[in-house]
Structure 1
């Protein structure tokens, strides 16, 4: 079998791309010597510190130190209101580097693009030049992060949503490297299907910007419910969590048909107060219409999710224990 292997090392993460079955770029993430890992997840944040972004960042730093986090996940809408202009846009430093300054947050950040990022120069956020400006930053369209006990599958969800393609004069979207839509979506889904089918990881976490299940402003994303959810719910794939942003709130919804937990962490800055629109949900465990973030702690047998508000108060927790573990290969 023909394989191409490229490794770029740093003090935090190594980059591994294997041209074999799985086509998603893969990153190897070290975890703690006791085979546990912890992380923070945040979305919809980049407003140069306003709308309580700086306050959320301060509490992320505190919680990050308490947990000894290994990395941070950004679920998209990284820079408002329309992404970055180019790789030298000062918004990158004003909304990211100068805001998340706590020592505990000087870890790798894995980010996906949101719909507001696509309204600007989406390609700029993917450019390695930004990693030269701030080595924490790593953003791709779709990719995987591998650890000894968990795999994280980051999916580019914005191109799935039809309405973004229908009104180009209302909002410009940077579809370079994406169009035509159907072909791109087909490849994303196929790559994810292959990656999930090959995975033997104990825990599987899928990350995207858009909601699958939500009771806030945007509600369910129909295209993801139709095209992505059936794959995530397939019993042979064993997906545990779906993390997203898009709705500016904190939510936890449990599937009634599968073990999947839908975790919305879109409270990084501007929150939508009072917008509660219950539609078809499974089991609503948390709806909080304010700013905040979540943490995820994993071991070989246990998972724990904690939701924090803007003051760092714990507002919700969820945990799961697995009876048996499969060896990670």
Structure 2
């Protein structure tokens, strides 16, 4: 379990075995790196389907790659439980889609998760509750927070409230407790992110959110993030933006900055053939099947690899202070 790095003021409200936590600023946590200063982790998104749609096969390969890499933790890009999040902290889906699926020894590390739009369709506070940590201590989920790991900072950002359509559609109900008034929530989050980035001295800066910024798949670009979040990331020289939401594996480069856009949303159900055209100079990789991403970070390099459900390496990419390469 990561340790809180800096104290923050918390207001805790108890509601029938549910704990709602209102945080005055982004919480920061430390995660230890290896003795040589390196860091490795896996990224999976859009997974929680009780093992169906190849979720179990993805989990199996994650376990093998995780053991080989000796991963330090796992990142979830959201939509953790389909179709409508968790009912409450006692929902059996937590065990059936998480604990009973990711059973490999190498995956018994800390999981750092954000909420996706499907998670907000259920009881969003359930996934944020400490009660789930008591059920499975590798689970960790907050709306937004910062993870410090050696020379790397990973910013986990709650992207669902940014999308206008979730506040106007009538097909689904969303749990907006702790988010409303929305305008204040987004303004405060963007301010806290910008302050934290400007204060950061990390060599590598990585962002994790559920929603795409850029994508050639079903959902496409998230214009609200393009307009509001992207300028902050580019101004502060963020290296990677990692997301789920689109059920594919994808790598898009930026023509305007060093920022790379990485989709790891292939944790279970994939969308075959649901692809839109994209500038081939920016589209480094696209795969419309299930799989996950692996990341290794050293003092002078980030290395990425995308895997399918058979353990095949589909795409690799690396960046150092001076060079970019991909294959």
TM bracket (short chain)? over 0.9
- Residue 14 of structure 1 corresponds to 3
How far, CA to CA, are the matches of 1:281 and 1:196 in structure 2? 31
TM-score of the aligned structures, taking structure 2 as reference length: 0.92
Question: Which residues of 2 match residues 134-145 of structure 1 at below 5 A?
Answer: 134-145=136-147
Mapping 1:1-329, distance limit 5 Å: 12-19=1-8, 23-167=25-169, 169-234=170-235, 237-278=236-277, 283-323=282-322
Write out per-residue CA displacement over residues 176-197 of structure 1, whole angstroms, 9 at most, x where no aligned residue: 0001111110011001001100
Deviation string, structure 1 residues 245-282 (Cα, Å, up to 9, x no partner):
00000000000000001000000000000011125787
**Could you tell me how far apart the structure 2 residues matched to 1:323 and 1:49 are?**
42
CA distance in 1, matches of 2:8, 2:120: 28
Runs of 4+ in 1 over 4 A off after TM superposition: 279-282
Contact 1:214 1:281 in 2 (8 A): no
CA distance in 2, matches of 1:83, 1:302: 36
1:232–1:239 contact (8 Å) kept in structure 2: yes
Query: Cα deviations across residues 100-152 of structure 1 (Å, max 9, x unaligned)?
Result: 00000000000000000000000000000000000000000000000111000
CA shift for structure 1 position 13: 2.0
What do the CA deviations read for 1:144-182 (whole angstroms, capped 9, x no partner)?
Answer: 000111000000000000000002x31000000001111
How far residue 217 of structure 1 moved from its aligned partner, in angstroms, is 0.2
State the aligned residue count.
Answer: 309
Report the Cα offset of residue 23 of structure 1: 2.4
CA RMSD of aligned residues (A): 1.5
Q: Following the alignment from structure 1 to structure 2, what is the Cα–Cα distance between the partners of residues 38 and 274?
A: 31
Give the Cα–Cα distance (whole angstroms) in 2 for the partners of residues 173 and 13 of structure 1.
29
Structure 2 unmatched runs, 5+: 10-23
Checking the alignment, whether the CA contact within 8 Å between 2:43 and 2:292 is kept in structure 1 is yes
Partner of 1:327 in structure 2?
A: none
